[in-house]
Amino acid sequence: MSKVTFKITLTSDPRLPYKVLSVPESTPFTAVLKFAAEEFKVPSATSAIITNGKVKGRNSPSSVAGNVFLKHGSELRIIPRDRVGGQGDCISLSMA
């Protein structure tokens, strides 16, 4: 079975540590995210993987490592997801 290799960088750490992962190409990409998050000790539920490339969409759960590698290459970044909602209409610093 063929394997694909990714270099995944943790962007939330200013030292930009990275891990190199080799996975079978049929591995569901969500598993890659989970594994990478565990390695970096960040919660996978609040993380996302993006590429260094120009255009990137969030992978649908049905995509596999092999396809991701072909489409986006091997350089990936793991980022913390933002979750925002606000606290009403009195938050912004410049409001009167």
Binding site for another protein (CB under 8 A): 11-12, 14, 48, 50, 54-58, 60-61, 77, 79-89, 91-96
Shortest CB 16 distance to another protein, Å: 10
Tokens of 94: 């410049």
Shortest CB 32 distance to another protein, Å: 15
Can you tell me the distance from the alpha carbon of 75 to that of 73, in angstroms, rounded to the nearest whole number?
A: 6
Closer Cβ to another protein, 1 or 96, answer by number = 96
Alpha helix (H) ranges present in 41-79? Answer: 65-72
> DSSP secondary-structure letter at 8?
E
